[in-house]
């Protein structure tokens, strides 16, 4: 086996023989290494990187960046000379133009949940535009692939959805997705915006034929801020107002250039634009991380921030992949999650008037198209509709307010459970997103039903009904009667049995019927126009989540111990993709939360706040989703109890804690004699709605926690092997 010095000498010997740093296909990289008898560790040492990075290059999960890219390409070139591929291994050469317009998508993780394609390696701008040049070489060969059909790249946006703008030694560069780096000629911020509009070829194609293309985003590093005369951080006053003062010199530059800013001004997420040219928008969004544009609670690790020290190429990969798999970011992940709903279900379309021949605005029947009158029981306490209804500090009861929330429940351990050694916590993947899959929600105006209306499980809405008669001890599951005292009620977040009439969303009342009990509503607010509005939203986020987990080494084909082993180390495989995973989960959870966005002190109590003017301010939809999360978990808890005799001791949102004889979920979850999960119970796996291991603690540890607190409390979110486990789910 060659020594490290010999490898370095081989690389140096190739310096004058190679003008390009093109890379062979991932499979060829691995073949060359194995033909030379080298290990991934050998190459990692030579290139000054990690073995995992070399493994990812050979798997095609990501690409090396300079300076490793150049050295790696030259090493492979030398190995190609020494170990040429046989005729059967080499695909026929085919000419590829310097500017590619298509790129092959990678294989999807499995047919169960097709993953979004990996970000294509976008080419540089055409040589006819010398003002912006690429420092990433063009491809020489097109290797025949059979995995997936080629994805067409819109030539308007061939360089990707966004770029990270940085400045080094006086040279401004734009780092794009796929390793592309553009030289930026702009000397001022207005010139940078105009360059982006006219030359950069950045942006994203609409997600729905009736939607609109996403504006390009420029992410400005501190070095770029300094180059364009902007402060690296906002002052205390500027942070409070969320913008630079209008007297700032750069704001005046923007005004002199006749560019326009939105009412938010020049802040962390600034939008600059010129009037459209016909149907073409001319708008650029700025994202300034050092001004807290990327909140660490959503986009980063809040206890150990990674973004401030991240290389611009990695930041472009992170945000660019998010844009390609989810959508172009729109501020917080919560806002992006809400905007994704509208992007996939646009409220309007252009429809031709056959009489006049003109195109007119028409409404889409499968979307949220109007702001309807809000329902009193569905709104939060500060809503204008409640003004004068209650005393200022009145706490509304379940009979006055729809209280559909996730579980926050716990109970003391029984004597038998205290004899068991472990508490095992399992976590539902993407619980909020999974609950939207196939969920029928209201689209139109609410209709108020009085006089004891008949319950219809197919009609979404809010129902005032007494479910206090539902007794879980009378419910037979899997041929056996369960111990109701060890189970939470499915109808309340705290797991307490209802004591009288209360408002519930349709999924909750339907579950009472499913358990075999009669329901008799007193009144209701229902939406007769309904549909599966959130299905494309779920599909988009599911594919993004599964694709990113595959990048981290966890695929949909894994189960049992193989899955548990992979999930244990997945965040160490690629830290950048681990951040992306958390951002996707935050997008799902935050998007649902935005459906009932509360006043953040912008206006006095009982005064309308801006969110109320949105068609997507729909607390009834949020309630239906959260009810489905809780009911779905309860249904599986009953099935698990029937199959194993095990009962949970705590539930926190999407985490369930079981006493166990062993430390693994495999010691808790039921399996058939054939080794398959018992139908209807929790199932290990990567797809949304399946579960993973969140953590294990001992029963003695739990008893010590209770003794220290002086009471039993919910331990669900304290039992974490990985401190970041479960965040954003």
* DSSP three-state, residue 505: strand
CA dihedral of 394, 398, 404, 408, whole degrees rounded to 10: 80
Spatial neighbors of 339 by CB under 8 A, at least 6 apart, are 327, 330
Maximum distance among all Cα pairs of the chain, rounded to whole angstroms: 89
pLDDT at 17: 40
Token pair 């809000």: residue? 374
Which residues on neighbouring strands pair with residue 463, listed in sequence order? 504, 524
Strands (E), 368-484: 407-410, 422-428, 441-442, 446-449, 461-466, 476-477, 480-481
**Shortest CA distance to 594 belongs to which of 365, 446, 432?**
432
Q: Could you tell me if 22 and 87 are in contact, meaning their C-beta atoms sit under 8 angstroms apart?
A: no
Q: Residue 623: what pLDDT?
A: 97
Whole-prediction pTM value?
0.79
The whole-number pLDDT of residue 34 equals 79
- Residue 67, preceding peptide bond in cis (omega within 30° of 0): yes
Tens-place pLDDT, residues 568-608: 999 889 999 999 999 999 999 999 999 999 998 889 989 99
Tokens of 343: 């992007």
The pLDDT value given to residue 13? 46
pLDDT digits (tens, 9 = 90+) for 403-457: 999 999 999 999 999 999 999 999 999 999 999 999 999 999 999 999 999 999 9
Residue 715 and residue 705: Cα distance in Å, rounded? 9
Residues of the chain with pLDDT under 70: 1-22, 86-152, 721-729
For 343, half-sphere exposure in the C-beta direction (CA atoms, 13 angstrom radius) is: 24
Residue 286's pLDDT is 96
As a whole number of angstroms, the distance between CA 656 and CA 644 comes to 15
Residue 122: what pLDDT?
38
The radius of gyration of the chain from alpha carbons, rounded to an integer in Å, stands at: 28
Report the alpha-carbon distance of residue 435 to residue 575 in Å, rounded. 28
Check if the beta carbon of residue 51 is closer than 8 Å to that of residue 33.
no
The Cα 49–Cα 360 span in angstroms is: 58
Residue 655, phi then psi, degrees to nearest 5? -115, 130
CA distance 556 to 280: 41
Are the C-beta atoms of 417 and 649 separated by less than 8 Å? yes
Contact (Cβ atoms closer than 8 angstroms) between residue 14 and residue 81: no
């Amino acid at each position: 086996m060659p020594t490290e010095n010999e490898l370095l000498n081989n690389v140096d010997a190739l310096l004058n023989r190679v003008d390009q740093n093109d890379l062979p296909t991932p499979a060829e990289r691995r073949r060359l290494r194995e033909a030379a008898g080298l290990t991934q560790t050998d190459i990692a040492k030579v290139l000054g990187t990690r073995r995992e990075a070399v493994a990812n290059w050979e798997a095609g999960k990501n690409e090396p960046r300079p300076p490793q890219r150049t050295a790696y390409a030259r090493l492979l070139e030398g190995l190609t000379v020494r170990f040429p591929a046989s005729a059967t291994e080499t695909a026929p050469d085919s000419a590829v133009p310097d500017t590619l317009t298509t790129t092959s998508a990678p294989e999807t993780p499995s047919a169960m949940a097709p993953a979004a394609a990996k970000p294509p390696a976008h080419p540089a701008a055409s040589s006819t535009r010398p003002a912006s040049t690429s420092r990433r070489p063009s491809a020489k060969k097109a290797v025949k692939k059979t995995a997936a059909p080629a994805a067409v790249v819109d030539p308007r946006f061939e360089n990707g959805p966004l770029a990270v703008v940085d400045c080094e030694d006086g040279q401004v560069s734009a780092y794009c997705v796929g390793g592309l780096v553009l030289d930026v000629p702009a000397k001022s911020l207005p010139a940078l915006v105009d360059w982006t509009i006219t030359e950069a070829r950045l942006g994203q194609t609409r997600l729905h034929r009736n939607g609109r293309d996403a504006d390009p985003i420029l992410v400005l590093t501190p070095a770029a801020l300094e180059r364009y005369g902007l402060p690296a951080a906002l002052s205390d006053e500027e942070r409070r107002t969320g913008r630079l003062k209008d007297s700032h010199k750069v704001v005046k530059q923007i005004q002199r250039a006749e560019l326009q800013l939105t009412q938010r001004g020049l802040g962390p997420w600034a939008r600059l634009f010129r009037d459209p040219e016909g149907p073409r928008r001319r708008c650029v969004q700025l994202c300034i991380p050092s001004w807290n544009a990327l909140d660490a609670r959503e986009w980063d690790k809040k206890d150990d921030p990674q973004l401030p020290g991240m290389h611009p190429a990695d930041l472009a990969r992170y945000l660019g992949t998010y844009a390609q798999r989810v959508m172009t970011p729109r501020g917080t992940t919560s806002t992006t999650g809400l905007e994704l709903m509208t992007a996939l279900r646009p409220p309007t379309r252009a429809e031709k008037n056959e009489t006049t021949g003109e195109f007119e605005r028409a409404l889409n029947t499968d979307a949220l198209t109007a702001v309807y009158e809000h329902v009193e029981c569905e709104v939060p306490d500060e809503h204008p509709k409640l003004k004068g209804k209650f005393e200022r500090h009145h706490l509304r009861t379940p009979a006055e307010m729809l209280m559909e929330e996730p579980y926050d429940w716990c109970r003391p351990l029984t004597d038998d459970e205290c004899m068991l050694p472990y508490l095992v916590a399992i976590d539902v993947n993407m619980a909020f997103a999974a609950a939207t899959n196939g969920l029928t929600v209201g689209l139109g105006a609410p209709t108020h039903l009085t006089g004891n209306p008949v319950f219809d499980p197919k009609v979404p809405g809010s129902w005032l009904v007494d479910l206090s008669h539902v007794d879980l001890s009378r419910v037979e599951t899997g041929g056996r009667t369960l111990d109701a005292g060890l189970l939470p009620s499915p109808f309340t977040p705290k797991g307490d049995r209802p004591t009288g009439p209360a408002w519930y969303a349709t999924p909750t009342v339907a579950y009472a019927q499913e358990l075999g009990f009669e329901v008799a509503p007193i009144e209701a607010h229902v939406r007769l126009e309904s549909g599966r509005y959130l299905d494309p939203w779920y599909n988009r986020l599911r594919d993004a989540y599964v694709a990113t987990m595959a990048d981290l080494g966890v695929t949909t084909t894994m189960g049992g111990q193989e899955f548990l082993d992979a999930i244990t180390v997945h965040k160490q495989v690629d830290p950048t993709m681990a951040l992306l995973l958390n951002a996707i989960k935050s997008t799902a959870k935050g998007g649902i939360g935005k459906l009932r966005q509360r006043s953040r002190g912008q206006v006095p109590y009982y005064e309308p706040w801006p969110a109320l003017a949105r068609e997507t301010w729909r607390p009834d939809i949020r309630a239906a989703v959260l009810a489905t999360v809780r009911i779905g978990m309860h249904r599986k808890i009953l099935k698990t109890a029937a199959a194993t005799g095990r009962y949970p001791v705590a539930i926190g949102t999407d985490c369930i804690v079981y006493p166990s004889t062993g430390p693994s979920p495999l010691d808790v979850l039921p399996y058939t004699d054939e080794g398959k999960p018992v139908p209807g119970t929790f199932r290990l796996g990567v797809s949304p709605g399946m579960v993973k291991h969140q953590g294990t603690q001992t029963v003695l540890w739990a008893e010590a926690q209770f003794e220290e607190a002086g009471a039993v409390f919910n331990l669900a979110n304290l039992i974490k092997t990985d401190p970041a486990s479960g965040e954003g789910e």
